[in-house]
Structure formats: structure tokens, C-alpha cells
Amino acid sequence: MEPLTTGLVLAADAAIDLQMHTTYSDGKWTPEQLIDYLAGEQFALVAVTDHERVDTIASLRRLAAPKRLHVLAAAEMSTTWNGDATDILCYGFALGENELYRLAQDVLHQQRAITREVYAKLLQQGYTFPQKQDVLRASEGEPRNVDDLVSLLEQHAYATNVDGAAEIVWDAGFFYATNGIAAVVDATHRCGGVCLIAHPGRGGEGCTRYDAALFDQLRQEVPIDGFEVYYPTHTPEQTAMYLEYAQKHHLLTSSGSDSHGPDKKPIKYSADLSRDLLERLGIRVK
């Protein structure tokens, strides 16, 4: 289906991680740091799911290829359903300036415009950031998202913790740009990929916490392909419920650490946990 993964065969216990983030979106790993770490830890297959970054996969693969690390085409897309946030993990889609690429770029442009407006509002309110270039070195000194704004406030001692800084940002008018879930699923399917709900049991921050009844409702409206069953904050009861539901309805399951930096490292999930997903993407698990 795609370079570096077509015809790939993995042992059932091969180490994979299908959700991670770099400085291409809201992560603290630079792409080079994350690829070096994953190769050094002998991961067999990974998905770097930077938010809306369907345009950075080729560069990640160029970094990974000399290290014989296999990288799926993947991204986490910000969507809404029933008025609340639902993040969607998209895997195995075709690259290029296609429908999914255009949806992702639209949200990126909106989010950066929102961030610039909030940054200007903070300056109008009297906040000053003399160390901006150092704090935002990874983004060339310019705030790109809510995490950059939070870092600026924290590092300049306007807040004592992340929650306090985030409250200032939201009070200044920040909000997340999103696509509708149906549009993202349709675009991904048209591009040959599959869509799974990210961390369905996490909830919080305006996100839907899914149970069987909500899955039933969503599936009546949107042809979702599955969900992330194995996730660090899912309870054993949630994991068992999601796995049972997926098996009953023949849905795909994924496993991801949601690593955003060295303080929360990738997890070595066994390939067998996501066998159906991998085989749908042309990867054999034996």
C-alpha cells in the first residue's frame, strides 16, 4: 500500500507504537530525536500522528529509512461530533495534495490564525515575552498553537503551572479549529485509509468519553473503522469493554502511547494487539 510497509511481515511480538507526536504539532520530541529513540529501542513499526500533519510523513520516512525503521502514513485529525471534540487517528492514506491534505491544511491555517490573534490579545493586555526566541526555538520564535502560548506564559512566570497558563490563554479567546468527523472519515476513505477514534476512554477537555451506547450512535452516523483500545490511561475495564465491542462488530483496534516527549516515552505494544488494523494496511503479522 505504501513505501516501507508494502509486503512488510512482523512477528506477533514485534514492538509497535501507533500514536506519537513531535514538534511538527504539539510534541516536545524533535522529529530527529524521536526517530533516533525509536530506532535505538528497536521498534519494528511506528506511526507519528502529529495533528493535521499529513504533509510531514515523507520527511519522517527520510529520517527513518537509513535506520530501517518502518513508518506508517498517519495523522491525528481534530474533529467534532455532537458538539464535542473527537480526535480521529487516520492510517494508511495516500500522500499528496488530496482531499484529506486539504482538510488538514485548512485547520492548520485556522489554528495558526487563532494563535496569532490570541498572542496579539495577550500583548494588548500587557504581557511581555522578552525570552520568546529561546522559549519557542523549535518554532523559530513564533507561537503556532496553544502549547506555545502556554509555554510563553509559564516561562515568563505569569503562571505557576500549565493549568494556570492555559486558563489565561482560553480567557484571551483561544479555541480549537476542527473539521466535522464525517468529512474527515469520508476524505480518509477516499484516500485509501482507515479512521479510528483516538483514546475513546480518556475524556476531559471537552472530549467525548465513549461507551458502547455512544459507539452505537456514532456508527449509525459515520462509518468509523475502529478505535484505539490500548492507551496508557484506559482502565482495565475500559480496555476489556472496547476490545469486546470491537470483536463483536468486527472493528479495527490500535495501540498507542500518545508520547509527546522524553518525559512520556513510547510504549512497546506487541503487533498482535493491532493485527487486524495492520493486515488491513497490507502488513502481515505472523
For residue 1, pLDDT over 70 is answered with: no
Average pLDDT, the chain: 94
Phi, psi values for residue 33, rounded to 5°: -60, -45
Q: What is the DSSP letter of 122?
A: H
pLDDT digits (tens, 9 = 90+) for 222-268: 999 999 999 999 999 999 999 999 999 999 999 999 999 999 999 99
- The CA distance from 47 to 73, in Å, is 7
- The CA distance from 102 to 9, in Å, is 32
Mean pLDDT of the region 69-89: 95
Helix (H) or strand (E) holding 246, with range, is helix 236-249
Are 243 and 231 within 8 A, CB to CB?
no
CA-wise closest residue to 150 among 28, 258, 55:
28
Q: Who's near 226: CB < 8 A, 6+ residues apart?
A: 194, 196, 197, 246, 251, 252, 253, 254, 276, 277
Lowest mean pLDDT among 40-49, 141-150, 203-212, 256-265: 203-212
The strand pair at 74-81 and 179-180 is best described as: parallel
Q: What is the pLDDT of residue 207?
A: 80
- Structural domains of the chain, ranges and CATH numbers in brackets: 9-102+179-285 (3.20.20.140), 105-171 (no CATH)
pLDDT above 70: percentage of residues in the chain:
97
Mean pLDDT of the region 42-64: 97
Lowest mean pLDDT among 81-85, 176-180, 252-256, 277-281: 81-85
Q: Who's near 83: CB < 8 A, 6+ residues apart?
A: none
Mean pLDDT of the region 105-118: 95
Burial of residue 161, with CB atoms counted within 10 A of its CB: 0-12 exposed, 13-18 middle, 19 or more buried: exposed
pLDDT above 90: percentage of residues in the chain:
89
Beta bridge partners of 254: 228
For residue 2, pLDDT over 90 is answered with: no
| Backbone conformation region of residue 189, classed left if phi is above 0, alpha if psi is from -120 to 50, else beta | alpha
- The CA distance from 35 to 65, in Å, is 10
- The CA distance from 12 to 171, in Å, is 48
Q: What is the DSSP letter of 98?
A: S
Q: What is the pLDDT of residue 4?
A: 53
| Backbone conformation region of residue 145, classed left if phi is above 0, alpha if psi is from -120 to 50, else beta | beta
Q: What is the DSSP letter of 31?
A: H
Q: What is the pLDDT of residue 204?
A: 74
For the record, the C-alpha cell of 22 comes out as 513531535
Q: Is 26 helix (H, G, I), strand (E, B) or coil?
A: coil
For residue 18, pLDDT over 50 is answered with: yes
Dihedral of the alpha carbons of 129, 176, 91, 3, in degrees to the nearest 10: -40
- The CA distance from 100 to 54, in Å, is 8
- The CA distance from 171 to 118, in Å, is 9
pLDDT digits (tens, 9 = 90+) for 215-224: 999 999 999 9
Mean pLDDT of the region 6-31: 94
pLDDT digits (tens, 9 = 90+) for 155-184: 999 999 999 999 999 999 999 999 999 999
The strand pair at 84-91 and 74-81 is best described as: antiparallel
Beta bridge partners of 236: none
pLDDT confidence bin for 200, thresholds 50/70/90:
very high
Beta bridge partners of 80: 85, 180
Q: Look up the pTM and report it.
A: 0.92
Q: What is the pLDDT of residue 247?
A: 96
